[in-house]
Chain A
Amino acid sequence: MLLALAAQHDERAFAVLVRRHIRSAVLLAAQLLGDRDDAEDVVQDAFTIVHERAASFDAQRPFPPWLFGIVRRLAQNVRARTARRARLMRLWGRGDAYEAERSTENALLEKFDAAVDADAARRALGTLSSMQRACFELVALRDVAPEEVAAMHGIAESTVRQHVFRARKALRGALTRGEMARRPDGRDDDHG
C-alpha cells in the first residue's frame, strides 16, 4: 500500500516506508559488511533504487523481501570491492594495516560480560556458525521478529528459529559451565 502510494509520488508515504524498514535494512547491511558507514551507504542506495523503481514493483507481493534482496546484492558488491582492495593492499605490502583497520572486535560479548564467563561465552559463540550468531543477535538481542530475519537473510523462518534455538542452547550450556567453574567448591547453591 505504502509502496503503491510512493510509486504515485506520495513522498510522505515513501518517508513512512523508509522509517518502517530502515532499522532491519541497516542491521542486515551491518551484518553483511561489518561497518556502520558502509551499511548506511548501502541502505541509502537501496532506498534510492526502491524510490526509482517503485512503479515497477508488483504491489501484491510483500515489500520486505524485495528491499532486503536489494540490500544483499549491494552489500555483496561492496564486499567484492573491499576484497579486491584488500588484495591490492596485500600486494603493496600494506595488508596487515588494512586488515587491522577493517577488523571489528566482537563487542557482542560485552553484553554477556556482566553475567557470564566471557571466555566460556566466547568459546560457545565460536562453535556456532556465522548464520547462527547472526540470527541469535537479531532475534535475541535486537528483538527482530524471526519472519523479518528470514526475509532479511533470504532463508526460511523455521531455519531462523532453529539457528536461534541452537545458539541459545550453546550459550546456556556455556553459562552454566562458567557459573560452576567460578564457584570454589564447584557446587550449585540451589542444590547444596
Chain B
Amino acid sequence: MTMDELFDTSRIPDDPEHWDALAARVATRARRSRSPILWLGEHKTSWAAAALLLAASMLFAVLQQRSRPAAPTLAWADVLAPQDVMGRTIATRDQPPALGMLIFTSPRGSETP
C-alpha cells in the first residue's frame, strides 16, 4: 500500500536524546495500556484471583440484601396512618378489614364495641 501524498520530515528532530526519550515514553505507555482481559488471559493465577473476587462480591451482595432494613415506605405508612382502629387497619394491613370489624367498630373512636 502506498499513499499518493507524502510529506517532508524536516520538523522531526533527529538526535539520539530525542529518540531515547520518545522510546522510553512509548514503551512505558504501551505496557500501561495493556488490556486487562489480555492480562487475565496470560496469567493462570489471575484467573483464580478474579474468580475469588467475583465470589466475594456476590457474597457481599447477598448479605447486603438480607440485612437490608424494612422498606422505608412501610415505616412511613405506620407513622402516618390514622389513629383509629379502622383507619389503621385500612392503611397498614395488606388484607382488607374483616366485615365484622367494619360493622361493629365505632365510627368515632378507636375502641372496638
Contacts and interface: CB of A to CB of B under 8 A. Distances in A.
A and B physically associate: yes
A127 to B, nearest CB: 15
A15 B2 contact: no
A142 B14 contact: yes
Interface string B1-44: 11111111111101000011011101101110111001000100
Given A11-B31, A131-B2, A30 B22 contact: no
Interface of B: prevailing SS: loop
Given A11-B31, A154-B1, A31 B26 contact: no
Contact of A111 (B10, B11, B31, B35): B10
Interface of B: 1-12, 14, 19-20, 22-24, 26-27, 29-31, 33-35, 38, 42
The size class of the interface chain A forms with chain B is 35 or more
Interface of A: 9, 11, 14-15, 18-19, 22-23, 26-27, 30-34, 36, 39-40, 43-44, 47-48, 50-52, 72-73, 75-76, 79, 104, 106-108, 110-111, 130-131, 133-134, 137-138, 142, 153-155
A106 B10 CA distance: 8
Contact of A27 (B1, B9, B29): B9
A14 B32 CA distance: 13
B58 to A, nearest CB: 30
B1 A30 contact: no
Contact of A155 (B2, B5, B20): B2
A27 B19 CA distance: 11
B8 A133 contact: yes
B7 A104 contact: yes
Contacts of A106: 8
A26 B8 contact: no
